[in-house]
Structure 1
Amino acid sequence: MPCYNFKSITVVPSSKDFIDIVLSKTQRKTPTVIHPQYAIGRIRHFYMRKVKTCQQFYHDKLQTILTEFPKVEHRSRPGEDIKVRMCTVIKRQADNLKFLEDTRQHMSRLPSIDPDTRTIILCGFPNVGKSSFINKITRADVDVQPFPFTTKSLFVGHTDYKNLRWQVIDTPGVLNRPLDEHNTIEMLSITALAHLQAAVIYIMDLSEQCGYTIQQQLTLFQNLRPLFRNKPLVIAANKVDIKPFEALSEEDKQSINSIVQWHTDRQIRDPDRPIFVEMSTVTEVGLVTVRSVACDDLLAQRVQAKIRAAALPGSNVDISNRLYIAKPKPDGNKTDAPSRPPIIPDGVLDKQRRRMLKRLRIANSLQPSSQLEDEDEDSSKRCRTVRDREPEADPDEGFILNLREHWRIKCPEEANDIIPEILNGHNLIDLFDPEIEEKLNALEEQEAAFENAGFYDESELLKQENDPEMKKIRETAAKIREARALRVLESRARKQVRRPQVPRSARSVSVHKIHQELGELGLEVDMHEQGERGRSLKRAARARNSAPNLHREASIARASVSRSRSGLRDEKMHDTVKRMSKIAQRKVVTLARKGEGDRHIPTLKPKHLFSGKRGTGKTDRR
């Protein structure tokens, strides 16, 4: 990765801003008032403090600039008048400060190039297709125009090949002229070619639309050939969709074939002749081939370089390949190293021998011989393990592993006692019936007798359903369920007493609902056709101020109910609601809230009551 970061350099202010910053900071950091009773020494100290503070601020700002910029010499110029002279010096450095700021901005725009990673450099005449090539094979977005010298600086793109990250550098176009006549833009390309160890792709324009003939492009290639030394080199012939290689003149073909080697003939590689590949950035023909050839050559060169570096004595590259394996020196006149076989204890060898003999005895089913008897005598002396006791167990009962025999308790005979199981404070063994097996057998015999007698047949069940006693029992159960449902409904009704009740007169009732309710009550009302399909009758207009007619009092329209009283049954219910609303507003009124959503926290300690000196008669405030 790059070892520098120009973007972190602090912004360099202009001379005017520099003076304003330092003087303002000096005014803020030092005293500003001189009282008449001050002695002359204190006044002199007052001004000298300002001068030294101003000088320190200038020093800090300039030191920051000199430290962050690379290779900047530190210069100190003393002045006559301390404060005024420093400002004069800063004014004289206005051009230098502006130059440094422009340099910082330019360096911050430069791409971050890693000189140690895998790199591919594109070079050639202007307008031959270098920027189009980098846009195709990487994620870069370089400006492409039909006129030359569009690219005026280095552009970096990244691509992946064989699960490795590659950086591709697009350089400005280079003209065929002496080195001292190249401008700054062209020197960027030459510097990149000279100092970066990378694969070079020299792009040519076979159609000659860039404004340069093939002979001129080959001449530029020969002039730049010293910069390509010890670097993988590929010549990419671009714009073959306009003019392929076969359409060139015989002279141009011979000139190209005399210095290049086609990529199809790579089995017999000539290191002095670069690889020649045709491509087109418009049709994307040959782009992958150019990238693959350049990447493979660079990978092979990097591997060879690591191998050569590891082979050099005293090299610090790839230390793992140069590890020294120490071996014991030969004893006396022996030329070979002494024989040092592994040492195995005798006890381990005896165990291995006994294990092998035991396996042979089990495999061959042989009676123990004298040698096996010796082995059995040795085995009887050692402690018997669970594996030794397992073959001796009764095959009918099986081997039972007792994990309690090694328990360390005061009374070893109590190790195998049954541990009581406690459930809800009772010992389960107390609930165990010793005659449970006999009772279970009796129940099974009784069930078998019932099945043999046909007690569980379907005919018996049908007889029981038609039995008058069963019918009476079912009717009683239905009444019990109905009474239970009524009690549930009454309980729910009692719980809903405190809920707001909407008066019947305020409810919206449809004609269909009235017809349904009257039908349930047993009243036959024929209003289906009139209520649903008939036309609505319009009431005749009446005088608003006319005197009430006592004979038609019931037919007079009710006055519209206010929203504050809608949903309330009577005056008693209205008073209850009003009283509850007052109780709910007590907290809001007590805390002086604007409403339920007011969460403002006022000033708990006003500054005008809790600030100032504690004088006579003011201590009651605290």
Structure 2
Amino acid sequence: MVQYNLKKITVVPNGKEMIDIVLSRTQRQTPTVVHKGYAISRLRQFYMRKVKYTQQNFHEKLSAIIDEFPRLDDIHPFYGDLLHVLYNKDHYKLALGQVNTARNLISKISKDYVKLLKYGDSLYRCKCLKVAALGRMCTVLKRISPSLAYLEQVRQHMARLPSIDPNTRTILICGYPNVGKSSFMNKITRADVDVQPYAFTTKSLFVGHTDYKYLRYQVIDTPGILDRPFEDRNIIEMCSITALAHLRAAILFFLDISGSCGYTIAQQAALFHSIKSLFMNKPLIIVCNKTDLLAFDNIPEEDKKLVMDMKAEALKTVIGQGGEATNEEEGVLLTMSTLTEEGVMAVKNAACDRLLDQRVELKMKSKKINDCLNRFHVAMPKPRDQKERPACIPQGVLEAKAKEAAEKAEKEHRITERQLEDENGGAGVYSASLKKHYILANDEWKEDIMPEFLDGHNVYDFVDPDILHRLEELEREEGLRLADEAEEDFEMDGEELTVEEKEALAEIRRKKSILIQEHRLKKSTAGSRAVVPRKFDKDRKFTTERMGRQLTKIGIDPSAAILRARSKSRGQKRQRSPEVGGEGDVMDMDVEQPNNKKLRALSRPRSRSLSRPPGEVVPGEGFKDSIQKVKAINLAKKSSKKRNKNAHKGEGDRVIPNLKPKHLYSGKRGIGKTDRR
């Protein structure tokens, strides 16, 4: 857990804002009406209450500011020195001291004026004392406006500081600028520190977290440090010095052995020796970075000698901690490259192991260890026989691992579209080919060129130029096939047809197939053909005369079909029976006449309702006769007449409206009427 949460400090208002807040609250929360006819004790009490309430509000606001800001003498030395480096301890304490002084002055002013108000002899005198008290309080607050503005800037900067726990397991990265500290931080944690190829990219402390052996470690990336006198170092460098001085952490001192950072190994070694006093009693690892540019074995001998001297100094700190030089010699000097990630995990693991060993050793030397050891019991089971039982991995697990490794290798060797784009000119130049996703019998056909123009003509025109002609031939063949199928069996209604009837039926079916084909063709082109009303259809293709001529041509009497078509197209009209009408009403007796019941049904208008009259009694309603039902209906209408007149929803509507609503009958207030609210 982080002990100091600097992000929860309340916003500090400036002097004018705080005055407005307190005076507005006083006006709202205390009585605002007083009359000169009141007793003098009541007048004194009224104004004393206002002065006390204002003083209490100022006291609460200023006390919150003083209590929420951390006291540099009470917090961890790391945070104390860090705040001193960033904000100057003297200015910080002076601002808080001025706020505290203002709080005491306001309390004294309130106390003095309450004492004077006890002896106020009139409304005017009491009011003047109240105005003077509030005015002096506001004047005091205006004088500390610069301190309040400074504290607000400090609060905003504190909220942006990283949450560093000084007591947890910590790995601290330090060294010259541009030696690869932030790159290493991004590799081992989920932090996203800005990395640029120039010095002092990192200007403040950055925190990340990593896991090792089921434990969480805090990794701190510090700004670069230059080798110069202590008093010449700036605020950015002093942040690193503060972290090195006060945090119990494993130190990773980074060296750029390639010299690409702009500083030689001699300069970096000088920095190491100048700050080596800060490494005492802490695990120290010297990390030689950027081995991808220059291997450690290839550096000059004088530089290698400097690195070995640094290693010897690091080993002295190990021996000073009580460690063995032979055991720690391998882990003091490590090489790595953040670009190729070679040795990155080894450096992280070594730092975590060294830090964990030191923390365990310190706890073993503490007095609390005896209390803990009494509660531990280490069980050592005895072997039950002489049989060896080595650990084995199931075959299924091995196969799964092999399959996963093969998939990973295939994924690594797969060429992605991004790689192809980078190789062929980048974005805007390279265009991805969609042909490689075609599913063809031969993969070599995917990249074949498809011509669009040949001899000045569109290739698509030569795909099938006679497609419409072929369609007509197919439809004609289909009609002939249907006719042949119809000739195979001409049995209708269980009777065998004669030769003439077979010929007539074949002709009808042939005509029908032709009409179907014409209708399909007409339907296929209906979208591009304008709709012509029937009265403007000069061709008159579908008429009863044309149908009669066609049926007569093939030897069929068309009269019955024509009458049927006319009766359907005419719609349902009133028809009369032969005995009712005159001579003109008698129909041709060749046509079958419907019976009288059917004629009556057809002669009845469709829109006529079939509902029964309201007075008709239906069995089960409970009325004796229609007279009693009509009387009951009239009584029901009469009883609901008053309810409907009052606009009630029903019998259960008991709403009593306001006959004189306030917003309609009250006028505006006149001049001088605003004092009574």
TM-score by length of 2: 0.49
- How far 1:316 sits from its partner (Å)? 2.8
Which residue number corresponds to residue 571 of structure 1?
Answer: 607
Which residue number corresponds to residue 309 of structure 2?
Answer: 258
Q: Does 2:598 match 1:541?
A: no
- How far 1:305 sits from its partner (Å)? 1.5
Q: Which amino acid aligns with 1:529?
A: S
Q: Does 2:26 match 1:29?
A: no
When structure 1 is superposed on structure 2, of 184-193 and 212-221 the one drifting more is 184-193
What's the secondary structure of 2:201's corresponding residue? coil
What's the secondary structure of 1:144's corresponding residue? coil
C-alpha distance 575-138 of structure 1, shift in aligned 2 (>3 A) = farther
Q: Does 2:516 match 1:532?
A: yes
What's the secondary structure of 2:163's corresponding residue? coil
User: Map of 1:152-163 to 2, 5 A cutoff?
Assistant: 152-163=203-214
- Matches of 1:36 and 1:522, distance apart in 2: 123
Q: Does 2:359 match 1:302?
A: yes
Q: Which amino acid aligns with 2:70?
A: P
Number of equivalenced pairs: 375
- Matches of 2:376 and 2:277, distance apart in 1: 41
Q: Which amino acid aligns with 2:347?
A: V
Q: Does 2:151 match 1:100?
A: yes
User: Map of 1:216-295 to 2, 5 A cutoff?
Assistant: 216-260=267-311, 269=326, 275-295=332-352
Q: Which amino acid aligns with 2:354?
A: D
Q: Which amino acid aligns with 2:171?
A: I
1:122–1:202 contact (8 Å) kept in structure 2: yes
Q: Does 2:364 match 1:319?
A: no
1:306–1:318 contact (8 Å) kept in structure 2: no
Which residue number corresponds to residue 42 of structure 2?
Answer: 42
Which residue number corresponds to residue 171 of structure 2?
Answer: 120
- What whole-Å deviation, never above 9, does each CA across 1:139-159 have from its counterpart, x for those lacking one? 000111222112111111011
- Matches of 1:522 and 1:25, distance apart in 2: 106
- Matches of 1:170 and 1:573, distance apart in 2: 93
- Matches of 2:610 and 2:171, distance apart in 1: 89
- Matches of 2:658 and 2:2, distance apart in 1: 56
- What whole-Å deviation, never above 9, does each CA across 1:328-366 have from its counterpart, x for those lacking one? xxxxxxxxxxxxxxxxxxxxxxxxxxxxxxxxxxxxxxx
- What whole-Å deviation, never above 9, does each CA across 1:228-270 have from its counterpart, x for those lacking one? 111111111111112222332111112212332799xx99627
- How far 1:199 sits from its partner (Å)? 0.5
1:260–1:274 contact (8 Å) kept in structure 2: no
- How far 1:46 sits from its partner (Å)? 2.8
User: Map of 1:73-84 to 2, 5 A cutoff?
Assistant: 74-75=100-101, 76-77=104-105, 78-79=108-109, 81-84=132-135
C-alpha distance 604-10 of structure 1, shift in aligned 2 (>3 A) = farther
1:259–1:274 contact (8 Å) kept in structure 2: no
Q: Does 2:193 match 1:209?
A: no
Could you say which structure has the higher helix fraction? 2
- Matches of 2:182 and 2:297, distance apart in 1: 25
Q: Which amino acid aligns with 1:296?
A: D
User: Map of 1:58-77 to 2, 5 A cutoff?
Assistant: 58-71=58-71, 74-75=100-101, 76-77=104-105
Which residue number corresponds to residue 229 of structure 2?
Answer: 178
- How far 1:197 sits from its partner (Å)? 1.1
Unaligned runs of 5+ in 2: 72-95, 113-131, 316-322, 378-485, 496-504, 524-531, 538-562, 573-604, 613-643, 645-652, 664-677
- How far 1:542 sits from its partner (Å)? 5.7
What's the secondary structure of 2:518's corresponding residue? coil
- What whole-Å deviation, never above 9, does each CA across 1:495-536 have from its counterpart, x for those lacking one? xxxxxxxxxxxxxxxxxxxx9xxx998898847514532346
C-alpha distance 38-274 of structure 1, shift in aligned 2 (>3 A) = same
C-alpha distance 533-270 of structure 1, shift in aligned 2 (>3 A) = closer
C-alpha distance 206-534 of structure 1, shift in aligned 2 (>3 A) = same
What's the secondary structure of 1:172's corresponding residue? coil
- Matches of 2:171 and 2:2, distance apart in 1: 17
C-alpha distance 574-151 of structure 1, shift in aligned 2 (>3 A) = farther
- Matches of 1:278 and 1:301, distance apart in 2: 22
- How far 1:556 sits from its partner (Å)? 4.9
Q: Which amino acid aligns with 1:534?
A: E
C-alpha distance 605-167 of structure 1, shift in aligned 2 (>3 A) = farther
C-alpha distance 16-571 of structure 1, shift in aligned 2 (>3 A) = same
2:272–2:310 contact (8 Å) kept in structure 1: no
- What whole-Å deviation, never above 9, does each CA across 1:354-394 have from its counterpart, x for those lacking one? xxxxxxxxxxxxxxxxxxxxxxxxxxxxxxxxxxxxxxxxx
C-alpha distance 608-128 of structure 1, shift in aligned 2 (>3 A) = farther
What's the secondary structure of 1:120's corresponding residue? strand
- How far 1:324 sits from its partner (Å)? 12
When structure 1 is superposed on structure 2, of 220-229 and 98-107 the one drifting more is 98-107
Q: Which amino acid aligns with 2:517?
A: R
1:235–1:277 contact (8 Å) kept in structure 2: yes
Report percent identity of matched pairs. 47
- Matches of 2:494 and 2:16, distance apart in 1: 103
RMSD: 4.1
Unaligned runs of 5+ in 1: 310-314, 326-514, 544-550, 560-568, 577-589, 591-601, 613-622
C-alpha distance 270-161 of structure 1, shift in aligned 2 (>3 A) = closer
C-alpha distance 10-574 of structure 1, shift in aligned 2 (>3 A) = farther
TM-score by length of 1: 0.54
What's the secondary structure of 1:260's corresponding residue? helix
Q: Which amino acid aligns with 2:67?
A: T
When structure 1 is superposed on structure 2, of 36-45 and 61-70 the one drifting more is 36-45
- How far 1:123 sits from its partner (Å)? 0.3
1:118–1:165 contact (8 Å) kept in structure 2: yes
2:23–2:54 contact (8 Å) kept in structure 1: yes
- How far 1:273 sits from its partner (Å)? 9.6
- How far 1:47 sits from its partner (Å)? 2.7
- How far 1:604 sits from its partner (Å)? 8.2
- Matches of 1:146 and 1:528, distance apart in 2: 87
1:194–1:227 contact (8 Å) kept in structure 2: yes
